[in-house]
């Protein structure tokens, strides 16, 4: 057993940390101010340029892609990239700056694995360049989408075309000003085997019938690049826009899952680390009843508990990343379910403690804590609520345990 980081990860981590602390975090206030004026805040382009200059873009890719090898990073394993995703999680701006933000990473991986050369040339290359953004239209407002067999959007065949009708929401990235392409999950074969009914097709945002109904706030936050609700009315795309084969929707969704889950979780842990630093700084700074908050035993308990929980959650995610690298996502299904429950829970708790220490300042926007909480709380729902993942973990456990000897 060896918990040390490889030299190349150590070097990248140092570079990335420097970028995040000295460029990204200082740009947050500017970003917020520009966002209030509407549109995509220009400061992001500056950050993207700096990240590119430092060789910090597209690091999530497990191997350079033939279609554009010069745009890709060195090809890191999941466990290697995980430590970098944590650093990116410190600021909500860092993932996009490094072209490593959801859902683009997952969409790029899907295009790399399942896309035709034409699809890759048209959509993957500009995504790798950070010129456009993309959306992943999966969740629907009218059903509990955590049970994938509930999906209702229809993809009917009409000659050489697919015709889409239905409604999606929580389509992350759809509100982004440069979002050009959606991967849409829908039903091509309503009566087929429950796991072969769905397909994924590419739908350009400017296709007639694609209507961006509204942006969805998260606890009052309307982010540029946030979640959208989209109505599809007789949306027609050529059948060549299918990803892999008809009926492969569920399979692609599963393949997409593992690494993306690791990224989400490590970013949550990075956010928690920053929250803990803020907590400690404030606790040293503020005094009540004759002593600094940091000297009070209840605050010390919170700090210790936060440190312990963060370290445990990080190790769980890293171990899962290592399993994906060594035995594959399929064998690590239970662990991939487990980490989202653990990481989101821990991160919410740590940030909540940091808010409490900050008093009124904690719920305002003078600190990133309230926004962190809103998004981390949402992580407990996005991509399946905790309960669905706990159910998966329990089913594996129940299958695994035979008759104990007691």
Interface of this chain with a copy of itself, residues 285 to 304, rule: CB under 8 A: 286-289, 293-294, 296-301, 303-304
Listed residue (207, 160, 156, 161) closest to 181, CA to CA: 207
CB neighbours of residue 384 within 10 Å: 21
Residue from 132, 163, 244, 388 binding a copy of itself (CB under 8 A): 388
Is 167 a binder of a copy of itself (CB under 8 A)? no
Is 39 a binder of a copy of itself (CB under 8 A)? no
The C-alpha atoms of residue 106 and residue 329 are separated, in whole angstroms, by 14
Residue from 10, 26, 45, 239 binding a copy of itself (CB under 8 A): 26
The C-alpha atoms of residue 209 and residue 14 are separated, in whole angstroms, by 47
Q: How far is the CB of 96 from a copy of itself (least distance, A)?
A: 18
> In 286-385, which ranges are continuous DSSP H helix?
297-326, 333-358, 360-363, 369-379
Is 16 a binder of a copy of itself (CB under 8 A)? no
Q: How far is the CB of 54 from a copy of itself (least distance, A)?
A: 17
Q: How far is the CB of 197 from a copy of itself (least distance, A)?
A: 16
Is 67 a binder of a copy of itself (CB under 8 A)? no
Is 18 a binder of a copy of itself (CB under 8 A)? no
Residue from 277, 329, 331, 336 binding a copy of itself (CB under 8 A): 277
Q: Which residue has the tokens 């990860």?
A: 9
Listed residue (196, 192, 201) closest to 251, CA to CA: 196
Is 121 a binder of a copy of itself (CB under 8 A)? no
Binding span for a copy of itself by CB under 8 A among 106-114, 173-181, 261-269, 318-326: 318-326
Computed on alpha carbons and rounded to an integer, the radius of gyration of the chain in Å comes to 22
Are 81 and 100 in contact, with CB atoms under 8 Å apart?
no
Binding span for a copy of itself by CB under 8 A among 102-110, 127-135, 185-193, 272-280: 272-280
Q: Which is nearer to a copy of itself, 235 or 370 (CB)?
A: 370
Q: Which is nearer to a copy of itself, 251 or 377 (CB)?
A: 377
Are 259 and 78 in contact, with CB atoms under 8 Å apart?
yes
Q: Which two tokens stand for residue 108?
A: 């790029």
Beta bridge partners, 214, equal: 229
Residue from 51, 313, 332, 336 binding a copy of itself (CB under 8 A): 313
Is 36 a binder of a copy of itself (CB under 8 A)? no
Separation in Å, CA 238 to CA 160, 164, 168, 204, 327 = 6, 11, 20, 11, 37
Is 141 a binder of a copy of itself (CB under 8 A)? yes
359-378: contacts with a copy of itself (CB under 8 A):
359-365, 367-368, 370-371, 373-374, 377-378
User: Which element (helix H / strand E) includes 185?
Assistant: strand 179-187
Q: Which is nearer to a copy of itself, 170 or 232 (CB)?
A: 170
Is 30 a binder of a copy of itself (CB under 8 A)? no
Beta bridge partners, 136, equal: 183
Residue from 10, 221, 234, 238 binding a copy of itself (CB under 8 A): 221
Is 255 a binder of a copy of itself (CB under 8 A)? no
321-340: contacts with a copy of itself (CB under 8 A):
322-323, 326, 334-335, 338
One character per residue 76-105, x = contact with a copy of itself (rule: CB under 8 A): ---xx-------------------------
How many residues lie near a copy of itself (CB under 8 A)? 109
Listed residue (84, 104, 56, 93) closest to 260, CA to CA: 104
Is 217 a binder of a copy of itself (CB under 8 A)? yes
Residue 261, burial from CB neighbour count under 10 angstroms (0-12, 13-18, 19+)? buried
CB neighbours of residue 11 within 10 Å: 11
DSSP tag of 391: H
Binding span for a copy of itself by CB under 8 A among 44-52, 100-108, 205-213, 307-315: 307-315
Q: How far is the CB of 57 from a copy of itself (least distance, A)?
A: 22
Question: What is the residue-wise DSSP string for 64-96?
Answer: --TT-GGGS-S---HHHHHHHHHHHTTSTTHHH
């Amino acid at each position: 057993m060896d918990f040390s980081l490889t030299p190349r990860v150590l070097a990248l981590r140092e570079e990335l940390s420097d970028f995040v602390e000295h460029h990204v975090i200082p740009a947050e206030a500017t970003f917020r101010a520009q966002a209030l004026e509407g549109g995509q805040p220009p400061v992001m382009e500056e950050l993207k340029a700096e990240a590119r200059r430092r060789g910090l873009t597209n690091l999530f890719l497990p191997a350079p892609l033939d279609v554009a090898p010069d745009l890709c990073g060195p090809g890191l394993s999941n466990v290697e990239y995980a430590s970098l995703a944590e650093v990116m999680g410190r600021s909500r701006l860092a993932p996009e700056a490094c072209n490593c933000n959801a859902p683009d990473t997952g969409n790029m991986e899907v295009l790399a694995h399942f896309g035709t050369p034409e699809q890759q040339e048209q959509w993957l290359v500009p995504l790798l360049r950070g010129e456009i953004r993309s959306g992943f239209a999966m969740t629907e407002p009218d059903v509990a989408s955590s049970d994938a067999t509930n999906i209702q959007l229809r993809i009917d065949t009409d000659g050489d075309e697919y015709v889409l009708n239905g409604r999606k929401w929580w389509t992350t990235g759809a509100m982004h000003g440069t979002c050009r392409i959606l991967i849409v999950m829908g039903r091509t074969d309503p009566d087929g085997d429950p796991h072969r009914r769905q397909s994924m097709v590419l739908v350009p945002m400017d296709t007639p019938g694609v209507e961006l109904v509204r942006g969805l706030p998260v606890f009052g936050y309307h982010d540029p690049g946030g979640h959208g609700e989209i109505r599809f009315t007789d949306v027609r795309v050529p059948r060549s826009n299918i990803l892999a084969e008809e009926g492969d929707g569920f399979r692609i969704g599963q393949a997409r899952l593992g690494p993306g889950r690791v990224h989400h979780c490590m970013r949550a842990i990075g956010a928690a680390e920053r929250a803990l630093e803020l907590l400690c700084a404030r606790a040293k700074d503020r005094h009540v009843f004759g002593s600094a908050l940091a000297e009070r035993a209840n605050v010390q308990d919170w700090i210790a508990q936060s440190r312990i929980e963060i370290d445990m959650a990080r190790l769980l995610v890293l171990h899962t990343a290592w399993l994906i690298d060594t035995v594959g996502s399929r064998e690590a299904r239970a662990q991939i379910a487990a980490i989202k429950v653990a990481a989101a829970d821990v991160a919410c708790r740590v940030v909540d403690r940091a808010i409490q220490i900050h008093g009124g300042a904690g719920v305002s926007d003078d600190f990133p804590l309230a926004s962190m909480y809103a998004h981390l709380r949402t992580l407990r729902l996005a991509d399946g609520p905790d309960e669905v993942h706990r159910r998966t973990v329990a089913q594996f456990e129940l299958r695994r345990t035979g008759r104990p000897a007691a």
